[in-house]
Structure 1
């Protein structure tokens, strides 16, 4: 892994080490290769890498994906703008926020009605990753040309056209929401978060810098 100018928080460094050791099945490798090829093509052309991770409510999987992708990109020295959005505005689910805290991210929030705005840090030196529920075309997602990375089947199947998309890339994940308010809630949120971490770390590890 490329060295980062920032020193990861110790618990997060441990989480990332474990995530990097998770097995990625061959069928998932094929799914991820499409994303790798897109990022590599942008790097080769000297163009901005803009990734917009999209799920219906922008509350769990797309938030995990944005945060882990940005962290992985920075760790591997690949300049990338990582966004997330949905087709409905809800809130960044507190269960997902708590899972990221358990992984070692430092997270603060400020009130924004029922949709708090979170600042997510992977080190003392890192710029905050801003996270809140929004539509995919929210002004916070400033890129005019991007890859739409579809993280859930509902959004993938019900958004036939996304303006500004250079390429649509399905990278679907199972929803940990199914385990809300059960004994397995924390375990399954962490499992999904760590799967996404593993895959985003793998994706950016495969990018050759010019």
Structure 2
């Protein structure tokens, strides 16, 4: 299961008078990530540190982090651990620190940078990236309820419905679910249905429903 950022966000925490401002954004390439880091550094040009972490690739196979002057392993790596721990890819996080005059120590820095990223992620819109099909099913009015029941059982959305002399129901189906779902629909409707449209799509599953990518 791979998660992606649909809408980025920022959050700020304070630890012993030091301000930690975390900014998280969706990125599609290392160039986009580097550009986001540069823009954040320009925005907070007077800050002592702008530490960063990124995860890229279909399965998050590429990652990179920077401590930007903080003691080695106290900033970028903990930030990266938060991103990978959430199962995210195509994401970049930057945490800006304004030093408050009190040293935090290694453990304190690790906790602060991790907590800042967690706070920003809590404010983001996040979805589970899914490869699947947009499936349109044509049936009679008796089959309509049966198909909807099957979709609800599998927690699949009804994205469109057209009522004419028959009923057409559209849904989004993950790759691995499609074959068995089609068999179930044929069985439940006694084959009084047809699959009139089937196309591959990539979408994200969110709390508020699917979002096409």
| TM-score of the two chains, using structure 1 as the length reference | 0.24
Structure with bigger strand share is 2
Structure with bigger helix share is 1
By relative contact order (CA 8 Å, sep 6+), the higher-ranking structure is 1
Bigger radius of gyration among the two: 2
| TM-score of the two chains, using structure 2 as the length reference | 0.24
